[in-house]
Amino acid sequence: MSYRPFVRSSAEMPTTVAGPGFTLRPPSPDDARALGELVGDPARADSVVRCWVDRWDRDGYGTWVVEGEGGESLGFVGLRPRAHDITVTVRSDPASAQDGRARAALRRAVAHGLEWYPDVPLRMRVPAGDITTHGVSESAGLIPVPAADHEARGTEWRVLQAPRVRVLRALTPAVREQLIDLWVRVNEAGGAVGFGVDATRADVEAELDRRAQALATGALTVVTLVSPSGDLLGVGFLRRASSALLSHVRNVEVVMVEPERRGLSLGRHLMAVIHRTAREEGVEILTLDYRDGLGLGDFYESLGYREVGRHPGLIRVAEGDDRDGVLMMRRID
């Protein structure tokens, strides 16, 4: 199986990815020296980097150089095609591993893969004894798949996989219960998901049933993140405007992820698949609004959104707790 036709059809796919204190960029032959120093094998570095460059020329994706703000090489992270998946790889220098940039680079790479290669499993193999890399992989949103663990060439490998995207056009009874359960947990954990602190399960059920009606008419799309074992990890809604003048716009609503997995990049990955879904629907602009006071603005800004409006004290979370409503938007290109 080759993924090249899929990749080649995505003409707008960016080749560089920005992160906090670094940029992921395609390699050049000049990067061989940095690779040789990192892996302790200068003799083999030239041929490896040539293969990386050839893959970018052929497929339009591959291994990135993680470049610091001063132009220095911090390591390498890649998406490498195999027979039945795309393998995620990462290698960093000790300094970037220590300051968190290696973890951030891996998160950016996984999110990029989910947005641009949505139907291809993204997997990472880690030696069983490499606890550090295993931890970095899980923090980047990769989930252990024990059934895929295996031995190869005398090494025991642990396999982790990125969540899969599932776009819903209707709600089965089982999916409805999963969505309600997640919504209730997120609200009880303090998430800004459309309810006050005293909301009941019945309140959530009623709201989801209203959204199911919009789903049936095509006014709403439900985008979900699902674990390799089928557990619901995150959900977001894309709403179509009723005016024909806004047919190129969607509003992102009620973005939420499993509270017990906060800090594992699921929010970034969910937004990546929301962007992918919107792009496939021909959307050009996404809007969203959020409740101020939870640090969400910085998160959305890191995804390319910009603030375009603010309503002071619009949202009453509880008596004496009024928050600003903030409107943001970004282009999907």
pLDDT digits (tens, 9 = 90+) for 31-53: 999 999 888 888 889 999 999 99
Angstrom distance (rounded) from CA 147 to CA 305: 39
In the predicted structure, residue 2 carries a pLDDT above the cut 70: no
Question: What's the fold here for domain 165-331?
Answer: Aminopeptidase (3.40.630)
Mean pLDDT throughout 313-329? 86
pLDDT digits (tens, 9 = 90+) for 46-73: 999 999 999 999 888 899 999 999 999 9
Six-digit token string for 244 = 């024909």
- Annotated domain spans of the chain: 4-162, 165-331
Q: How confident is the model at residue 118 (pLDDT cuts 50, 70, 90)?
A: low
User: DSSP code of 163?
Assistant: P
**Fold: same for 4-162 and 165-331:** yes
Angstrom distance (rounded) from CA 9 to CA 113: 15
What is the CATH number assigned to the segment(s) 4-162? Answer: 3.40.630.30
pLDDT digits (tens, 9 = 90+) for 127-141: 998 888 888 899 899
What average pLDDT is seen over the chain? 89
Angstrom distance (rounded) from CA 142 to CA 186: 21
Mean pLDDT throughout 270-279? 94
CA distance between the termini of the chain: 28
71 backbone φψ class: left, alpha, beta (φ>0; ψ -120 to 50): left
Six-digit token string for 253 = 């609503």
In the predicted structure, residue 1 carries a pLDDT above the cut 60: no
Angstrom distance (rounded) from CA 89 to CA 77: 5
